Structure 1
Amino acid sequence: MVIVAALSWSTLSRIGLGWFALLVAVLLLGAVVLSVVSWYYTGYHIVGRELRIHDGLLWRRTRAIPLERLQAVEVVRPLLAQLTGLAELRLEVVGGGKTEAPLAYVSLADAVALRGRLLGLAGHAPQPPVGVAPEAVATGTPPPARGRLLHAVVNRDLLISQLLTPQAFFLPFGVAFVLSQFLYEGSFSFIAVASTVTATAGVLLQPVRRVLDDWDFRLAREDNAVRAHNGLLETRAQTVPLDRVQAVTVTWPLLWRVKGWLRLRMDVAGYAAGPEQDGRNRADRLLPVGLQDTGRMIVWEVLPGVDFARLALTPPPRRARWLDPLVQPLLGAALSPEVFAVRSGLITRQLVLVPYARIQSVRVVQGPVQRRLGLATVHADTAGGSGAAAHNRDLTEAWAMAAELTARARAARITR
Structure 2
Amino acid sequence: MSEPAAGTALAAEPRQRLHPLTPLLKGARALVVIIAALSWQTLGQVGLGWFAAMVVVLLIGQVILAVVSWYYTGYQVVGRELRVHEGLLWRRTRAIPLERLQAVEVVRPLLAQLTGLAELRLEVVGGSKPEAPLAYLTVAGARSLRERLLVLAGRVAAEDPDAAQAAPPAPPARHVHAVDNKDLLISQLLTPQAFFMPFGVAFIAIQFGYEGSLSFIGIASTVTAMAGVLLQPLRRVLGDWNFRLARENGALRLRGGLLETRSQTVPLDRVQAIGATWPLLWRPKGWLRLRLDVAGYAAAGADDGKRSDRLLPVGDEPAARKILAEVLPEVALDGLPLTRPPRRARWLHPMEWPMLGAALTDQVFAARAGRVTRQLVLVPYARIQSVRVVQGPLQRRLRLATVHADTAGGLSATAGDRDVNEAWMLAAELAERSRAARARA
TM-score range normalised by the length of the shorter chain: 0.7 to 0.9
Instruction: Report the secondary structure of 2:149's partner residue.
Output: helix
- 1:386 and 2:411 aligned: yes
Q: Kindly state the Cα deviation for residue 279 of structure 1 after the two structures are TM-superposed.
A: 4.5
- 1:374 and 2:399 aligned: yes
Give matches, 1:268-279, under 5 Å: 268-275=294-301, 278-279=303-304
Q: Kindly state the Cα deviation for residue 49 of structure 1 after the two structures are TM-superposed.
A: 3.1
- 1:325 and 2:360 aligned: no
Q: Kindly state the Cα deviation for residue 182 of structure 1 after the two structures are TM-superposed.
A: 4.1
- 1:413 and 2:432 aligned: no
Gaps of 5+ in 1: 130-144
Q: Kindly state the Cα deviation for residue 184 of structure 1 after the two structures are TM-superposed.
A: 4.3
Label 1:332 to 1:116 Cα distance change in 2 as closer, same or farther (>3 A): farther
Label 1:117 to 1:358 Cα distance change in 2 as closer, same or farther (>3 A): farther
Query: Residue type matched to 1:317 in 2?
Result: P
Query: Residue type matched to 2:78 in 1?
Result: V
RMSD across aligned positions (CA): 2.6
Instruction: Tell me, yes or no, if the aligned pair for 2:299 and 2:410 is still in contact at 8 Å.
Output: no
- 1:192 and 2:218 aligned: yes
Give matches, 1:3-402, under 5 Å: 3=34, 7-126=38-157, 147-275=173-301, 278-402=303-427
CA distance in 2, matches of 1:200, 1:152: 31
Instruction: Tell me, yes or no, if the aligned pair for 1:76 and 1:87 is still in contact at 8 Å.
Output: yes
Moved more, 365-374 or 336-345: 365-374
Instruction: Tell me, yes or no, if the aligned pair for 1:71 and 1:240 is still in contact at 8 Å.
Output: no
CA distance in 1, matches of 2:439, 2:80: 25
Label 1:167 to 1:6 Cα distance change in 2 as closer, same or farther (>3 A): closer
Deviations 1:204-251 (A, max 9, x none): 333222211211111222332222212111222222222222211011
Moved more, 191-200 or 360-369: 191-200
Gaps of 5+ in 2: 1-29, 161-170
Label 1:267 to 1:228 Cα distance change in 2 as closer, same or farther (>3 A): same
Instruction: Report the secondary structure of 1:370's partner residue.
Output: helix
Query: Residue type matched to 1:54 in 2?
Result: H
Instruction: Tell me, yes or no, if the aligned pair for 1:125 and 1:224 is still in contact at 8 Å.
Output: no
Instruction: Tell me, yes or no, if the aligned pair for 2:194 and 2:230 is still in contact at 8 Å.
Output: no
Instruction: Tell me, yes or no, if the aligned pair for 1:72 and 1:91 is still in contact at 8 Å.
Output: yes
Identity value in percent: 71
Instruction: Tell me, yes or no, if the aligned pair for 2:127 and 2:299 is still in contact at 8 Å.
Output: no
Q: TM-score, normalised by structure 1?
A: 0.87
CA distance in 2, matches of 1:171, 1:5: 22
Query: Residue type matched to 1:406 in 2?
Result: A
Q: Which has the larger radius of gyration?
A: 2
